[in-house]
């Protein structure tokens, strides 16, 4: 999984901070009333008649909406506007460049501090002590915006570079210059004000959930069948849910024992979802566990005092929800976490996302794909077949063979780093460009499954965190590392090659997921594994269609869970657990039961992102859709040149970025059309 870019994260803090540390809702923006705004306008008309009145009034209104009693009297506000509005367009450009440089320094160095403080949490550096958690969960940017409001920098920015909402960006954006776009992005920084202690509380809640998930390992070599057999390697340790899912996928290639392994993993997942998993077996190699009977033994004898996990999973979700809900009153235009995640962060409304998912999940073609899978497997489908991996060429290659190759190539993080230029050259980048991109990325040993963390300023480097055992990088780790490398390449291009710092990054995280998927899909080619399958293109379409169905399903559950939370803010961990199971089961029955042929499965609730990355899952679905559209566009073009071109666009709105990249808006229709073609419809 990719960590959300620090620039976006700290920009969100900027949009949400206030010097008022009481937990009462912020005062009404009406503190600066309409009469004061009109007075400011009249002054400008008389003193600077040549100034754009529309831009001036927008800036005054935006600054007024942020001004509170503690910032000064209405007369103080008028004086501030008179002294600080920049009417000269050329002077405005000069000041804009200075502000951009200042923010690059602030964001960039804060990013480096955060990376340093989280190092012992994110990297495989031995035991985590409480002091590591305390420093790692400390938000260095939590009080920054207090100071920016107190010293009036926030008001100068809001006054001269006002905020445009999503509708306005979509309407006006196509006619804006790059500089005007960058100024509009500067206007996104100060939108609302939230007490710093609430931001810090959110940082603690999300940091704790990150640590909970990072240590959620299942020792597969200690799992028992009902008749006492061990069917997984003794030293196999899998992180939930990522490694569990990936092992389940890999088991399709095991004709002899694969399904038995899959059924056991499926049972483990159900136990986690229902919180029936004994807490003694989580990250503990000292006991044996029979997932089907849920019995725990030690040295062949029943283990005493076995207790279920006790809804810890759902407590973490509630902690994050409540921290986010405390912030709601300070965001009058975006007064729920759902609105902030979609309309603000993704810049696509939640309703638009859900409608896209609903239409696709009801596509009749998915039943035809399911029939093909059933025929290939020679059995009725099971719920876990949502992760069917047989359309990928790699599924016919033994994972042992793949791991033998990856562990030899990449015995350490240093070896993977040394190999990055060669990977880029294989993807089409010229040697000099490949070395340049690789020089901006470092590789660290990950405590969890791995992630990518971008730099925040020119001169800094992106971090690729990957999990490598003492035996070298196994294939699962390699597959994830290639995915994260795609993120790092995007992060580097969109920082170093974008023309304005305020435009650096991508429209939302779905776009960086698309790059990661493009890299990941070529992992076998990068290993020198030639795929001579003449059905390759057909198989890729089928795989994309099936994978999109699965990830849209879990994204739908995530969105519905958050809607339920807002309807039931006093929920307990137990009632949330029951609600999530019902939501997942209902979503399954609505979309998946008719495709898979099995009812009442809660499997869609297994994703760890629901715990430690709230409302993130929709980005993966959009990432798949965007990836497919880009892949279709790339068919007769050079990948490296086009990736460079597309991502140099920076942080336009999603639809405008996509139009600039491939000539059309985001849509599942190209995939549906391709699916119809390969199915012979």
Of 526, 543, 559, the position where a domain reaches its end is 526
Q: What is the pLDDT of residue 367?
A: 98
**517 and 426 in a common domain:** yes
Q: Give how many domains the chain has, as a whole number.
A: 4
325 within domain boundaries? no
262 within domain boundaries? yes
**288 and 144 in a common domain:** no
Of 476, 508, 526, the position where a domain reaches its end is 526
**414 and 385 in a common domain:** no
201 within domain boundaries? no
- What is the edge-to-edge ordering of all strands in the sheet holding 288-290? 288-290, 295-298, 301-302
Q: For 223-239, how does the pLDDT look when each residue is reduced to its tens digit (9 = 90+)? A: 999 999 999 999 999 99
**371 and 255 in a common domain:** no
Q: For 96-146, how does the pLDDT look when each residue is reduced to its tens digit (9 = 90+)? A: 999 999 999 999 999 999 999 999 988 888 889 999 989 998 888 878 888
- Domain ranges, residue 566: 335-391+534-679
Please, what is the average pLDDT of the chain?
90
Q: Angle, to 10 degrees, between the axis of helix 617-634 and the axis of helix 669-679?
A: 60
**299 and 248 in a common domain:** yes
- Judged against a pLDDT cut of 90, whether residue 247 lies above it is answered with yes
Q: For 540-590, how does the pLDDT look when each residue is reduced to its tens digit (9 = 90+)? A: 899 999 999 999 999 999 999 999 999 999 999 999 999 999 999 999 999
**262 and 247 in a common domain:** yes
Q: What is the mean pLDDT of residues 317-330?
A: 95
Q: Which is nearest to 676 in space by CA: 234, 369, 261, 411? A: 369
**379 and 404 in a common domain:** no
Of 468, 498, 526, the position where a domain reaches its end is 526
322 within domain boundaries? no
**411 and 347 in a common domain:** no
668 within domain boundaries? yes
**24 and 145 in a common domain:** yes
Q: What is the β-pairing status of strands 16-18 and 192-195?
A: parallel
- Judged against a pLDDT cut of 80, whether residue 509 lies above it is answered with yes
Q: What is the mean pLDDT of residues 395-408?
A: 85
Contacts 24+ apart (CB under 8 A), 304-307: 306/278, 306/280, 307/278, 307/279, 307/280
Q: What is the pLDDT of residue 398?
A: 80
**510 and 555 in a common domain:** no
**Contact residues for 394 (Cβ-Cβ < 8 A; gap 6+):** 402, 523, 524, 529
- Judged against a pLDDT cut of 60, whether residue 8 lies above it is answered with no
34 within domain boundaries? yes
Q: For 520-534, how does the pLDDT look when each residue is reduced to its tens digit (9 = 90+)? A: 989 989 999 876 666
Q: Which is nearest to 249 in space by CA: 366, 155, 385, 82? A: 385
**583 and 438 in a common domain:** no
605 within domain boundaries? yes
210 within domain boundaries? no
**402 and 381 in a common domain:** no
Q: How far, in Å, CA of 110 to CA of 104, rounded?
A: 10
SS (H, E, C) 527-595: CCCCCCCCCHHHHHHHHHHHHHHHHHHHHHHHHHHHHHHHHCCCCCHHHHHHHHHHHHHHHHHHHHHHH
Q: For 619-646, how does the pLDDT look when each residue is reduced to its tens digit (9 = 90+)? A: 889 888 988 999 889 989 999 999 999 9
The percentage of the chain sitting over the pLDDT mark of 70, rounded to a whole number, equals 93
């Amino acid at each position: 999984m990719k960590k959300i870019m620090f620039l976006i994260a700290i920009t969100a803090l900027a949009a949400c901070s206030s010097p008022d540390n009481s937990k009462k809702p912020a005062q009404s923006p009406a503190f600066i009333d309409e009469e004061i705004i009109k007075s400011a306008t009249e002054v400008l008309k008389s003193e600077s008649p040549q100034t754009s009145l529309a831009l001036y009034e927008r800036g005054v209104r935006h600054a007024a909406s942020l001004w509170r009693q503690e910032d000064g009297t209405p007369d103080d506000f008028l004086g501030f506007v008179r002294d600080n509005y920049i009417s000269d367009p050329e002077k405005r450009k000069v000041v804009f460049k200075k502000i951009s440089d200042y923010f690059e320094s602030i964001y960039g160095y804060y990013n480096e501090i955060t990376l340093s403080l989280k190092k012992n949490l994110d990297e495989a550096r031995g035991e985590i002590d409480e002091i590591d958690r305390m420093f790692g969960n400390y938000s260095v940017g939590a009080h920054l915006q207090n100071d920016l409001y107190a010293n009036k920098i926030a008001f100068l920015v809001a006054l001269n570079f006002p905020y445009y909402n999503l509708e306005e960006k979509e309407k006006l954006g196509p006619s804006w210059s790059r500089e005007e776009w960058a100024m509009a992005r500067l206007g996104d920084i100060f939108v609302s004000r939230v007490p710093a202690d609430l931001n810090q509380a959110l940082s603690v809640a999300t940091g704790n959930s990150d640590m909970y998930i990072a240590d959620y390992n299942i020792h597969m070599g200690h799992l028992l069948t009902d008749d006492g057999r061990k069917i997984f390697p003794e030293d196999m340790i899998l992180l939930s849910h990522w490694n569990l899912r990936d092992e389940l996928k890999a088991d399709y290639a095991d004709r002899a024992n694969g399904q038995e392994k899959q059924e056991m993993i499926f049972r483990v997942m159900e136990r986690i979802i229902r919180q029936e998993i004994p807490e003694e077996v989580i990250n503990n190699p000292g006991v044996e566990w029979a997932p089907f009977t849920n019995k725990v033994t030690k040295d062949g004898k029943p283990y005493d005092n076995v207790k279920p996990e006790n809804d810890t999973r759902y407590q973490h979700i509630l902690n994050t929800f409540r921290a986010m809900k405390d912030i709601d009153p300070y965001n009058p235009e975006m007064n729920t976490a759902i609105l902030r995640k979609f309309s603000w962060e993704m810049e696509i409304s939640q309703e638009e996302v859900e409608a896209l998912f609903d239409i696709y999940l009801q596509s009749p073609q998915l039943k035809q794909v399911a029939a093909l899978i059933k025929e290939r497997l020679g059995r009725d489908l099971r719920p876990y077949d949502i992760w069917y991996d047989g359309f990928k060429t790699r599924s016919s290659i033994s994972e042992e063979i793949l791991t033998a190759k990856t562990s030899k190539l990449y015995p350490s993080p240093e070896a993977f780093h040394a190999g990055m230029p060669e990977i880029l050259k294989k993807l089409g980048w010229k040697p000099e460009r490949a070395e340049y991109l690789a020089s901006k990325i470092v590789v660290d040993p990950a405590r969890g499954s791995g992630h990518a963390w971008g730099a925040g300023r020119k001169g800094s480097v992106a971090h690729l965190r990957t999990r490598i055992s003492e035996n070298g990088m196994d294939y699962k780790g390699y597959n994830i590392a290639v995915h994260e490398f795609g993120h790092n390449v995007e992060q580097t291009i969109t920082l170093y090659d974008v023309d304005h710092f305020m435009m650096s990054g991508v429209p939302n995280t779905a776009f960086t997921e698309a790059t990661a998927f493009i890299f990941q899909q070529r992992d076998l080619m990068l290993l020198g594994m030639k795929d001579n399958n003449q059905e390759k293109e057909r198989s890729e379409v089928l795989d994309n269609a099936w994978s999109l169905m699965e990830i849209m399903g879990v994204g739908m559950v995530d969105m519905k869970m958050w809607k339920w939370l807002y309807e039931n803010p006093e929920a307990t961990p137990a009632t949330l657990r029951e609600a999530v199971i019902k939501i997942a089961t209902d979503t399954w029955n609505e979309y998946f039961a008719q495709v898979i042929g099995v009812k009442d499965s809660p499997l869609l609730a297994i994703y760890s992102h629901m715990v430690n990355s709230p409302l993130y899952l929709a980005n993966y679905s959009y990432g798949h859709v965007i990836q497919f559209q880009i892949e279709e566009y790339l068919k007769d073009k050079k990948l490296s040149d086009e990736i460079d071109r597309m991502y140099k666009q920076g942080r336009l709105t999603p639809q405008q970025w996509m139009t600039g990249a491939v000539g059309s808006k985001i849509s599942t229709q190209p995939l549906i059309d391709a699916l119809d073609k390969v199915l012979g419809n």
